[in-house]
Amino acid sequence: MKQKIPIFFLIVLVAFSECKTMQAERKVDIENETPQQYEARLKWWQDARFGMFVHWGPVSIKGTEIGWSRGSQVPIDEYDSLYLSFNPTNFNANFWAKLARDTGMKYLVLTSKHHDGFCLWNTKYTDYNIMNTPFGRDVVKELAQACKRYGIVFCLYHSICDWYHPDYPLGSPGGKTEKPNPNMDRYNTYLTNQLAELLSNYGRIGILWFDGDWEKPWTQERGIELYKTVRRLQPDIIINNRVGVGRQGMAGTTDVGKFGGDYDTPEQRIGKFQIDRPWESCITICQQWAWKPNDKLKSLKESINTLVRCTGGDGNLLLNIGPMPDGNIEDRQIERLLEIGDWVKKYGKTIYGTRGGPYITTADIASTRSGKTVYIHILKWGDSEYLKLPPLPATIKKAKLLTGGRMSVYQIPEYVQLFVPEIFRDEIDTIIELELKTSAMEIPPLSTLPKSLTTGKKAEASNVYRGMNEFGPASAVDGDSSTRWATDHGVTNGYLQIDLGTPQKFNYVAIEEAYPGRITNFELKYLKNNNWITFYKGKHIGGRFETSFPPIKAQHIRLEILNATEGPTIYEFQLYNKD
Ligand code: FHN
């Protein structure tokens, strides 16, 4: 019997299709987006604060790094044939989306195509895609649908560089070879056509997370054009700063005044405190982006510390997992994610929908705020019984220890003093909720660090870039993070030494490395009876390294760089006495 559709449903159906058409035709004036429109477009993401990054592909069969192991640990022919045996029959998109939700993550970014050129969706522009594997299912489609089902915003990572595609000029290993007959214009068309597929056929894409922006063939002009193309396809989409070429390496910041997409992308480090431009740190839960057997897994404490310090700095955290070749996620990674989720379930109100500050994040403390409330996250206690903070230009109405127990707060114009008995201090994060009489949102950033003891002091170094004064050691102690001490190309070790003038007591260090990642092994030393005594040993400095340590009294201090991949260079070397 012919099923009659009640008139009511017909009206809804027409309205829905009209709305779909309108959405598709809604024009946006990208060139003249107002600050208010920009903020409104990014609001869901800035409120979300926490997302899941997923690096996956046939390379997981080898357990080596996606893209980078092609032509290095894995011969190119072998790497490019892995898809012929890629059959992740345990892949369950609903499980991945539910895991993200249960971890407290609000969005998920999947590598649709990494530098190795393999496509995780049913694309008609290359056969090198998931449909031509034994698995033969559209992973992007299934994950997009599952994310919608679990209320997770689905987003895509897409590599601009493509070491597989014959038209992209550079190839493996690592972009260090040249293709015989490249054609960048033709490649750009391929790139744009594939993005059009992804942005037209899989529903709303929350973020386009570009990458592979650093190689010569890509230009700022192409990046600006690509940004506009993507926004025309999905006007409300958010695009990171790796669409152009303005990103400052792994620090992920964008040169002021340069086109930098919608937000900054510090990588494998906690971004610096930055409230005037949105940012998101992308960090692996292990060491490698793609799955690696027995990779080192971050502890719960380090994971929460990272989330809190990103949020405290007014940024997001995109925490990466690498699924296995059968489509499962490692049990130990699932366990860690669910432990993080338990923490977020208890304290998520200090993360979601908050903004960073007013106290500037350090290794010991972070703060977030919303309305008339400031959340103080104490990550590391000093020796003192109290925590003394710079004065708050707002009256504290009441204080509460969210992590349980009792505390007291004492506020005078000169400072805010918090007392939490040792037994109530949380091993991971002691959270204090301060309710103010007035809004917390307009309070200017407050530094909990006193003036650095090194600012303006005499400095010397083992090597200076071409002997140029502007790159001399004084640039690392001038209190200006835009100047730097630099060394010559090819230098792999050396030292920066500061004379404080007289013996000084200090218990906290902050070091900002330019071109983060170059320094791979360093020590901090002080001079005592003409001997250099090591008081700290570290591996990476990264965008900003800071730590406290038991108090030392000395006049001469040295940053000894034992190993660097290229000429080490330091923006600032700061010492403090935080007591
Ligand atoms: O080379 C990639 C790397 O494999 C990974 O995808 C990270 C994630 O941000 N991005 C590039 C390195 O900066």
Span 15-45, pLDDT tens digits: 444 444 434 445 667 778 999 999 999 999 9
Span between the terminal Cα atoms of the chain, in Å? 84
Name the CATH architecture for the domain at 458-576: Sandwich (2.60)
Strand, helix or coil for residue 51: strand
Q: What's the mean pLDDT in 243-269? A: 87
* Mean pLDDT lowest among 13-17, 308-312, 359-363, 519-523: 13-17
Pocket of ligand 1, candidates 211, 245, 287, 319: which has the most ligand atoms within 8 Å of its Cβ, to mutate? 211
Query: 211 alpha carbon to ligand 1 midpoint, in Å?
Result: 7
Pocket of ligand 1, candidates 56, 289, 318, 319: which has the most ligand atoms within 8 Å of its Cβ, to mutate? 289
- Distance separating alpha carbons of residues 143 and 537, to the nearest angstrom: 43
> Which atom from ligand 1 is nearest to the alpha carbon of 290?
4
Task: Please tell me if the CB atom of residue 280 comes closer than 6 angstroms to any atom of ligand 1.
Answer: no
Sign of CA dihedral 265, 333, 76, 140: negative
The verdict on whether omega for the bond into residue 180 sits within 30 degrees of 0, i.e. cis, is no
Task: Please tell me if the CB atom of residue 282 comes closer than 6 angstroms to any atom of ligand 1.
Answer: yes
CB atoms within 10 A of CB 397: 12
Asked if 417 contacts 391 with a C-beta cutoff of 8 angstroms, the reply is: no
Residues whose CB falls within 8 Å of the CB of residue 219, separated by 6 or more in sequence, listed in order: 245
- Distance separating alpha carbons of residues 468 and 486, to the nearest angstrom: 9
Asked if 151 contacts 108 with a C-beta cutoff of 8 angstroms, the reply is: no
Q: What's the mean pLDDT in 349-356? A: 98
Amino acid in position 361? T
Mean pLDDT of the chain: 93
> Each residue of 144-191: pLDDT tens digit?
999 999 999 999 999 999 999 999 999 999 999 999 999 999 999 999
pLDDT of 316 higher than 80: yes
H/E element, 78: helix 76-81
- Kindly indicate the confidence band of residue 13, based on its pLDDT and cuts at 50, 70 and 90: very low
Query: 210 alpha carbon to ligand 1 midpoint, in Å?
Result: 10
- Distance separating alpha carbons of residues 244 and 224, to the nearest angstrom: 6
- Distance separating alpha carbons of residues 266 and 281, to the nearest angstrom: 5
> Each residue of 393-416: pLDDT tens digit?
999 999 999 999 999 999 999 999
- Distance separating alpha carbons of residues 552 and 178, to the nearest angstrom: 53
> Each residue of 425-479: pLDDT tens digit?
999 999 999 999 999 999 999 988 878 999 999 999 999 998 988 899 999 998 8
- Kindly indicate the confidence band of residue 14, based on its pLDDT and cuts at 50, 70 and 90: very low
pLDDT, position 15: 43
Query: 283 alpha carbon to ligand 1 midpoint, in Å?
Result: 10
Q: What's the mean pLDDT in 119-126? A: 98
Residue nearest to atom 1 of ligand 1 (CA): 212
Strand, helix or coil for residue 549: strand
> Each residue of 233-243: pLDDT tens digit?
999 999 999 99
> Of all residues in the chain, what percent carry a pLDDT higher than 90?
83
- The 3-class SS string of 239-308 reads EEHHHCCCEEHHHCEECCCCCCCCEECCECCCCCCCCCCCEEEEEECCCCCCCCCCCCCCCHHHHHHHHH
pLDDT, position 487: 96
Task: Please tell me if the CB atom of residue 289 comes closer than 6 angstroms to any atom of ligand 1.
Answer: yes
Structure tokens belonging to residue 316? 């997001």
Amino acid in position 104? G
- Distance separating alpha carbons of residues 373 and 350, to the nearest angstrom: 9
> Each residue of 208-226: pLDDT tens digit?
999 999 999 999 999 999 9
Q: Among the CATH numbers 3.30.70.1560, 3.20.20.80, 3.40.50.300, 3.40.190.10, which is that of 8-348?
A: 3.20.20.80
Greatest CA separation found in the chain? Answer: 100
Cα pseudo-dihedral 468, 472, 474, 478, rounded to 10: 70
Query: 114 alpha carbon to ligand 1 midpoint, in Å?
Result: 9
Task: Please tell me if the CB atom of residue 267 comes closer than 6 angstroms to any atom of ligand 1.
Answer: yes
Pocket of ligand 1, candidates 250, 267, 283, 292: which has the most ligand atoms within 8 Å of its Cβ, to mutate? 267
pLDDT of 482 higher than 90: no
The fold adopted by the segment(s) 357-436 is Immunoglobulin-like (2.60.40)
pLDDT, position 68: 97
Query: 291 alpha carbon to ligand 1 midpoint, in Å?
Result: 14
CB atoms within 10 A of CB 505: 12
* Extents of the domains making up the chain: 8-348, 357-436, 458-576
* C-alpha distance from residue 200 to each of 162, 204, 230, 558 (Å): 22, 9, 10, 56
Task: Please tell me if the CB atom of residue 53 comes closer than 6 angstroms to any atom of ligand 1.
Answer: no
Q: What's the mean pLDDT in 547-555? A: 95
> Which atom from ligand 1 is nearest to the alpha carbon of 214?
13
Query: 431 alpha carbon to ligand 1 midpoint, in Å?
Result: 33
- Distance separating alpha carbons of residues 55 and 440, to the nearest angstrom: 38
- Kindly indicate the confidence band of residue 118, based on its pLDDT and cuts at 50, 70 and 90: very high
Query: 382 alpha carbon to ligand 1 midpoint, in Å?
Result: 36
Task: Please tell me if the CB atom of residue 252 comes closer than 6 angstroms to any atom of ligand 1.
Answer: no
Strand, helix or coil for residue 170: strand
> Which atom from ligand 1 is nearest to the alpha carbon of 250?
13
Task: Please tell me if the CB atom of residue 161 comes closer than 6 angstroms to any atom of ligand 1.
Answer: no
Query: 62 alpha carbon to ligand 1 midpoint, in Å?
Result: 18
CB atoms within 10 A of CB 315: 29
Query: 288 alpha carbon to ligand 1 midpoint, in Å?
Result: 10
Q: What's the mean pLDDT in 200-205? A: 98
> Which atom from ligand 1 is nearest to the alpha carbon of 157?
6
Query: 268 alpha carbon to ligand 1 midpoint, in Å?
Result: 9
pLDDT, position 18: 41
> Each residue of 59-82: pLDDT tens digit?
999 999 999 999 999 999 999 999
Asked if 220 contacts 244 with a C-beta cutoff of 8 angstroms, the reply is: yes
Helix axes 220-233, 184-201, angle to 10 degrees: 20
Query: 103 alpha carbon to ligand 1 midpoint, in Å?
Result: 23
Query: 124 alpha carbon to ligand 1 midpoint, in Å?
Result: 26
* Mean pLDDT lowest among 157-171, 247-261, 299-313, 447-461: 247-261
Query: 461 alpha carbon to ligand 1 midpoint, in Å?
Result: 33
* pTM (2 d.p.): 0.86
Cα pseudo-dihedral 16, 17, 18, 24, rounded to 10: 110
Residue nearest to atom 10 of ligand 1 (CA): 211
- Kindly indicate the confidence band of residue 6, based on its pLDDT and cuts at 50, 70 and 90: low
pLDDT, position 27: 61
Residues whose CB falls within 8 Å of the CB of residue 257, separated by 6 or more in sequence, listed in order: none
Task: Please tell me if the CB atom of residue 67 comes closer than 6 angstroms to any atom of ligand 1.
Answer: yes
Alpha-carbon radius of gyration of the chain: 26
Residues facing residue 559 across a β-bridge: 496, 524
pLDDT, position 82: 98
pLDDT of 383 higher than 90: no
Task: Please tell me if the CB atom of residue 116 comes closer than 6 angstroms to any atom of ligand 1.
Answer: no
Task: Please tell me if the CB atom of residue 358 comes closer than 6 angstroms to any atom of ligand 1.
Answer: no
Task: Please tell me if the CB atom of residue 211 comes closer than 6 angstroms to any atom of ligand 1.
Answer: yes
